[in-house]
Structure formats: structure tokens, C-alpha cells
Amino acid sequence: MLPNNMLYRIPALLIALTFHELAHGWVAYRLGDPTAKNHGRLTLNPLAHLDPLGTLAMLLVGFGWARPVPVNPFYLKGDRYRGMFLVGLAGPLTNFLLAFAFLYILAAFPSLLAVRHLPQILYTTFVINIYLGVFNLLPIPPLDGSRVLFYFLTPRARYAYSRWEQYGPLVLMLLIFLPFGFLQGILIPLANVVAGFITTLVSLLT
């Protein structure tokens, strides 16, 4: 489903990954945690956020990750579990907002269709933001979905989930790189649902 031309993918990836990680750091900072700011991660410079393996995975198979923003939950104001929930949710929500914005621009300004390569870049950015947002909401550590899920678990379930957390990256690598098609079978339907919702919303507003 993802466009294959790297000319379109590379700027789309830079936008999606950079804003995703910046959103994590900004929300954490607003909740009292200066760690991301102290590490120079509150920036729109893509080089501060890119993870080599995650970027390669995105280019090759259509989904991946950036270098995680450091967050210290002990700095977060109020309920730390709620704070980590908000920090985790910020990245995927930002991707969905970006997907909406780029599709809206494409639909609201038809004159842009005449600009060489621009429609393809806008559409590719729309698609990649959807996939990145959906992928990161999977409840597999260290993805954002694990932080979101953790908030809703009982104390006993949180303890059990924490013990399993160390195996999350290995499970993630297996799901991404082994040719079972299992992960794609989950991501593609979910991405289609999100894309359909955003497309409908844009059509109502243009």
C-alpha cells in the first residue's frame, strides 16, 4: 500500500518521525520532566531523533520507529502512570493530526496537484503518518502502546507486564523481520480504518 518512490518517502519519514518524537518530549516537558529538553530532543532537527534501524525498517517494510525520547517518570507531575499515558499517546496522536493536515492540504488546494512531485509527497506523508501512528500504538514494549496499555492495567497486571517488558524488543524484531505476514495483517486493516476516518473527515470539511 505504501508508495515505493524514495523521493517521496524520505521527506515524509523525516516529518513523521521528527514530530512524533518532539510530541513525546514536549508533553513530558509540559508535565514537569526536563529530560528530553536536557538531551536536546525538543527540536525539529530530524538528526536528533532518527534511529538507524528504525528508519531502515520504515524504508524497507513501511513501518518503524525513531530514537526514543528519554523520559523520567519521577519528574512528572501528579499521577505518574497518567503522565506516561499522556506522553505515550502524544506521538501517535501527532501522527494522526499530521495525516489529517496533509490530506486536507491536498484536498483543499487542488492547484497544488499541478506542482511536480508535491501531491505525491503530501499523500505519502499522509500514509506514512497513519502507519507510524498505528504501529506505535501496538502494546509491545518499547512502543507507545505499551505505555498507553499500562495505564489501564491493575497493579497486579502491571507487575506481570513489567516482567515481560524486557522481551518486547525481541518480539518486535521477530514480528517485523520474519516473513510471517502476521504484523502486516494487523497493521493494514487498522491503518485502513484510520485512513478511512480521516478521509471522511476531510471530505466533510472541504
Do 92 and 188 contact (CB within 8 A), yes or no? no
Catalytic residue among 13, 21, 96, 187: 21
Please confirm, yes or no, whether 21 is among the known catalytic residues.
Answer: yes
Report the alpha-carbon distance of residue 206 to residue 202 in Å, rounded: 6
Tell me the three cell numbers of residue 3.
508508495
How many other CB atoms are found less than 10 A from the CB of residue 52? 8
Sequence-distant contacts of 125-128: CB under 8 A, at least 24 apart: 125/11, 125/12, 125/15, 125/16, 125/98, 125/99, 126/99, 126/102, 126/195, 126/198, 127/1, 127/2, 127/3, 127/12, 127/99, 127/195, 128/2, 128/9, 128/12, 128/13, 128/16, 128/58, 128/62
Name residues whose C-beta falls within 8 Å of residue 190's C-beta, 6 or more positions apart in sequence.
134
Do 133 and 101 contact (CB within 8 A), yes or no? no
Do 191 and 133 contact (CB within 8 A), yes or no? no
Q: Give me the active site residues, please.
A: 21
